[in-house]
Structure formats: structure tokens, C-alpha cells
């Protein structure tokens, strides 16, 4: 099975790694669309053009399943893509809000791009899953995916290298600015952009006791289900 994956850059490698763990023997192509990063600050019209171009490229490369390894592109464009390409199987990545509300957490913080936070789908996920005794905050993080994209180094296998001191400083400064409005300590932090697990250690430093969740394993299992149909 040929599996095509795309993201606005390196973020989708967090999804790719999880898929490869459950499906090690498939054939993969990965499209890192870093020239259009950040997706999270694009209009829906711009984003639709971008995702169609990416889907066309992956189909040209022989993809039988297309994985949108990006929360922003999924919540904004997956319905559009499914409608435009009815014969193609698309698997999307959504913020792990359902996973977070299924824990005992009372206070949940969701970090995501402005495009994801403003989307109807993100609000639907909250409305459908939040329990009575839970509080959830959706925090838009403008510039964070972009900063990660341009700060981290990767090796030839697309594995990101540990952050050096200068890189940690850049990420900590950006996180400090963005997390400034958060006054209550969350029990669970949802990493609602596929770039954010790449700086999990840095985010954890702000919330040492919180559990950090992302949707990578869910996506991987969905791809495996479809690949085995
Ligand atoms: N990694 C993507 C996401 O999960 C997009 C980040 C961006 O390009 O803004 O939302």
C-alpha cells in the first residue's frame, strides 16, 4: 500500500513516525510543504488551493491513502478534499480533545494554530465531548509552528536532533509570550498542531505536572484500519 503524507513542513513527521511504527512495511511518500508554512495563518481559500496541490502531488507519486498530518488543514479542508476526490481515502489529524476529555482532567489546555482554534470543527469537538465538571481553554499560538519549522535541526532520517542551548532559548521565549495569559495550571495539555510534539520537552517545562497529549497514535491506528480493508 502506498501512503502519502503531507504537512506544512516537519510537523507531520510526528505522525509519520507513529504510522510507521504500526505499519513498518508500507511504501511512504512525505510532502513537507515548508514553503507554505504556516498553514495556521492562511485564509480558508488559500488553504484549499494548497491542499489540492498537495493531494495532486501525492497522487502523482502513487498514493493510495492520503494522510493529512496537519490539524489545521484537516479541520479546515478535509471535507472539501473528500468531496473533490470521492475515490480517495483521506485520513486527517484532529486535536486530541476527545482523548483529553476522556481522562479525569478538570482543566484542559489546547494549544493550536489560530486557524485550528477559529475552526468550527474544533468548537464542535469541545461541544461534543466536554464533561460538566471540565474546563477547556483553546489557546491560539500564532508563530509557534513557524518558529519550530525554522529552529529545529533534523538528521538524514528526518529525526529531529535534541535542541541545543540557543534553540531552547528561542523556543522558550516564544512559548513564554504565548503562555503568558494562562494563569491556572492545566492537568492535560493537548498539542493540537503536529509541530508541537517536536518541542514537547520545552512545553513540559512550563507545566511539569501536566499530561501532554497528541493525536498521532489515533491517526496511525486509523491508517492501519484502512490499509487492512
Ligand atoms: N502542523 C500543522 C498543524 O498541525 C500546521 C502548522 C502551520 O503550518 O501553521 O496544524
pLDDT tens profile 159-178: 788 899 999 999 999 999 99
Sheet holding 89-91, edge to edge: 27-32, 2-7, 65-68, 89-91
Sequence-ordered alpha helix ranges (H) in 110-215: 114-117, 120-129, 144-151, 165-179, 200-206
Q: What is the pLDDT of residues 34-65, one digit of tens each?
A: 999 999 999 999 999 999 999 999 999 999 99
Q: What is the pLDDT of residues 109-153, one digit of tens each?
A: 999 999 999 999 999 999 999 999 999 999 999 999 999 999 998
Residues with a known catalytic role = 70, 193
Q: What is the pLDDT of residues 69-83, one digit of tens each?
A: 999 999 999 999 999
pLDDT of 154 above 90: no
Of the candidates 55, 20, 66, the residue with the CA atom closest to the CA atom of residue 159: 20
pLDDT band at 206 (very low <50, low <70, confident <90, very high): very high
97-215 fold: Rossmann fold (3.40.50)
In the block, which residue shows the cell 491560539? 140
- Provide the pLDDT for residue 136: 98
39 lines ligand 1 (CB under 6 A): yes
Ligand 1 geometric centre to CA of 184 (Å): 26
In ligand 1, the atom with minimum distance to the C-alpha of 93 is 4
In ligand 1, the atom with minimum distance to the C-alpha of 194 is 4
Ligand 1 geometric centre to CA of 24 (Å): 25
pLDDT of 156 above 80: no
Ligand 1 geometric centre to CA of 31 (Å): 13
- Provide the pLDDT for residue 17: 95
pLDDT of 157 above 90: no
DSSP state of 161: P
- Provide the pLDDT for residue 159: 77
Backbone angles phi, psi at 221, to 5 degrees: -70, -35
Sequence-ordered alpha helix ranges (H) in 85-143: 97-101, 114-117, 120-129
Domain 2-93+217-227 has CATH 3.40.50.1860: yes
- Provide the pLDDT for residue 18: 97
The domain spans of the chain are 2-93+217-227, 97-215
71 lines ligand 1 (CB under 6 A): yes
Number of H helices, E strands in the chain: 10, 8
113 lines ligand 1 (CB under 6 A): yes
33 lines ligand 1 (CB under 6 A): no
Ordered DSSP codes for 176-193: HHHHTT--SPPSEEEE-S
Q: What percent of the chain is predicted at pLDDT more than 90?
A: 94
Query: 52-90 b/e with 16+ CB inside 10 Å = b?
Result: eebbeebeeeebbbbbbbbbbbbbbbbeebeeeeeebbb
Q: Whose CA is nearest to atom 2 of ligand 1?
A: 70
121 lines ligand 1 (CB under 6 A): no
C-alpha cell at 81: 478534499
In ligand 1, the atom with minimum distance to the C-alpha of 11 is 1
Cis bond upstream, residue 38 (ω within 30) = yes
> Is-same-fold flag (2-93+217-227; 97-215)?
yes
- Provide the pLDDT for residue 161: 85
Amino acid at each position: 500500500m502506498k501512503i502519502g503524507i503531507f504537512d506544512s513542513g516537519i510537523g507531520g513527521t510526528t505522525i509519520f513516525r507513529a504510522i510507521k511504527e504500526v505499519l513498518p512495511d508500507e511504501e511512504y511518500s512525505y510532502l513537507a510543504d515548508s514553503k507554505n508554512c504556516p498553514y495556521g495563518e492562511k485564509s480558508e481559500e488559500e488553504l484549499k488551493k494548497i491542499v489540492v496541490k498537495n493531494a495532486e502531488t501525492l497522487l502523482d507519486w502513487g498514493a493510495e491513502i492520503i494522510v493529512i498530518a496537519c490539524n489545521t488543514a484537516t479541520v479546515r479542508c478535509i471535507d472539501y478534499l473528500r468531496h473533490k476526490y470521492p475515490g480517495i481515502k483521506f485520513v486527517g489529524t484532529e486535536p486530541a480533545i476527545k482523548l483529553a476529555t476522556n481522562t479525569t482532567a478538570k482543566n484542559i489546555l489546547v494549544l493550536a494554530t489560530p486557524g485550528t482554534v477559529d475552526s468550527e470543527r474544533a468548537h464542535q469537538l469541545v461541544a461534543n465531548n466536554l464533561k460538566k465538571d471540565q474546563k477547556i481553554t483553546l489557546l491560539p499560538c500564532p508563530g509557534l509552528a513557524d518558529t519550530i519549522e525554522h529552529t529545529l535541526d533534523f538528521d538524514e532520517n528526518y529525526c529531529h536532533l535534541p535542541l541545543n542551548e540557543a534553540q531552547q532559548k528561542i523556543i522558550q521565549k516564544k512559548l513564554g509570550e504565548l503562555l503568558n495569559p494562562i494563569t491556572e495550571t492545566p492537568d492535560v495539555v493537548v498539542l493540537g498542531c503536529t509541530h508541537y510534539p517536536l518541542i514537547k520537552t520545552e512545553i513540559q517545562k512550563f507545566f511539569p505536572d501536566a499530561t501532554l497529549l497528541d493525536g498521532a497514535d489515533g491517526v496511525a491506528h486509523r491508517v492501519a484500519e484502512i490499509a487492512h480493508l
